């Protein structure tokens, strides 16, 4: 083998390693982002358990707005679960590298937190007759 061929191979390997290092940084960032997302979901779960055990949810009429939010929350949690499962698959690396996965996690986290905040409000203050009338408008 001549030296130019060897130098060419070394250069090619260097470029490949550079790409791997860049992707590894993206993967580690996304891993941290997923961990923070999972921690936030744990906090939300605890908040909902506290509201339920505190009697806020018992014997409360669920307003149409709250019922809609429960439905949206269920969908978003399903999407989050699907995304996290997908990201365990190495074939989904493109979503990691392009930042799509992180962007989707941000959107899901915002929607989930909005839903939980509204549901907490409804569970704490209940659907009074004036609130129920307002929700139907």
Return the domain boundaries, the chain: 3-136
pLDDT(118) > 60: yes
Determine the average pLDDT of the residues in 30-48: 77
pLDDT(135) > 60: no
Cβ–Cβ under 8 Å, residues 111 and 72: yes
Question: Whole-model pTM?
Answer: 0.51
pLDDT of residue 52: 65
Q: How far apart are CA 67 and CA 57, in angstroms?
A: 13
SS (H, E, C) 40-63: HHHHHHHHHHHHHHCCCCCCCCCC
Q: What is the mean pLDDT of the chain?
A: 70
Residue 101 confidence class, pLDDT cut points 50, 70, 90: confident
Cβ–Cβ under 8 Å, residues 56 and 102: no
pLDDT of residue 131: 46
Which of 90, 94, 44 lies closest to 69, judged by CA? Answer: 44
Cβ–Cβ under 8 Å, residues 66 and 119: yes
pLDDT(58) > 70: no
């Amino acid at each position: 083998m001549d030296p130019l061929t060897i130098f060419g191979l070394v250069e090619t390997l260097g470029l490949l390693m550079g790409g791997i290092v860049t992707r590894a940084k993206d993967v580690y960032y996304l891993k941290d982002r997923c961990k923070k997302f999972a921690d936030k979901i744990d906090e939300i779960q605890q908040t909902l358990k506290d509201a339920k055990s505190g009697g806020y949810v018992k014997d409360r009429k669920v307003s149409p707005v709250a019922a809609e939010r429960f439905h949206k929350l269920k969908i978003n949690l399903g999407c989050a679960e699907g995304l996290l499962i997908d990201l365990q698959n190495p074939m989904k690396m493109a979503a990691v590298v392009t930042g799509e996965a992180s962007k989707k996690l941000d959107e899901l986290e915002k929607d989930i937190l909005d839903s939980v905040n509204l549901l907490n409000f409804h569970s704490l203050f209940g659907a009074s007759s004036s609130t129920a009338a307002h929700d139907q408008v």
